Amino acid sequence: MPAFTESIKVGNQAMALYVAVPSGTGPFPAIVVIQHGRGVDTFVRTMVDRLATAGYAAVAPDLYHRLGPGVERSIQQLKDPEIIADVQATVDFLQHHKPRWLTTVATSWYPGAKGASPHWRAPTRFIAR
């Protein structure tokens, strides 16, 4: 199971993605894993790895990428439109990646984050076919 960190652009900002994919050529169903309050830490990376072991291309975007160094990380610091842009950029990464991994996309998130899941309000192209 290959796992790696990739960097993509969201607006003018670089955003890190933790990516794990099943062994083989795919395509695979994909899941965007939304971080919990501590960010893309060992727990989140382990969940991404487990999803890849189960046959999914899984990606966890670093939603804290806009916060400067030394700034305390908190889910409350994130803005809903930025979360949506980050998740959409992650889906775009999956849709345009070669080799083609993607069959469909789902999201998984920490349900206590901000008390809601704003990424569900992302554009309808959010689900790839």
Whether pTM > 0.95 for this model: the answer is no
CA distance 125 to 127: 5
Percent above pLDDT 70 for the chain? 75
Give 46-64 pLDDT, tens digit per residue. Answer: 999 999 999 988 999 999 9
* pLDDT at position 114 over 80: no
Q: What is the largest CA-CA distance in the chain?
A: 41
DSSP secondary structure string, 39-104?
BS-HHHHHHHHHHHHTT-EEEEE-TTTTSPTTPPP-GGG--HHHHHHHHHHHHHHHHH-SS--EEE
CA distance 73 to 62: 11
CA distance 57 to 23: 10
CA distance 17 to 22: 16
Give 13-57 pLDDT, tens digit per residue. Answer: 999 999 999 988 778 888 889 888 888 999 999 999 999 999 988
- Mean pLDDT estimate for the chain: 79
Domain 3-126 in this protein, CATH class? alpha beta
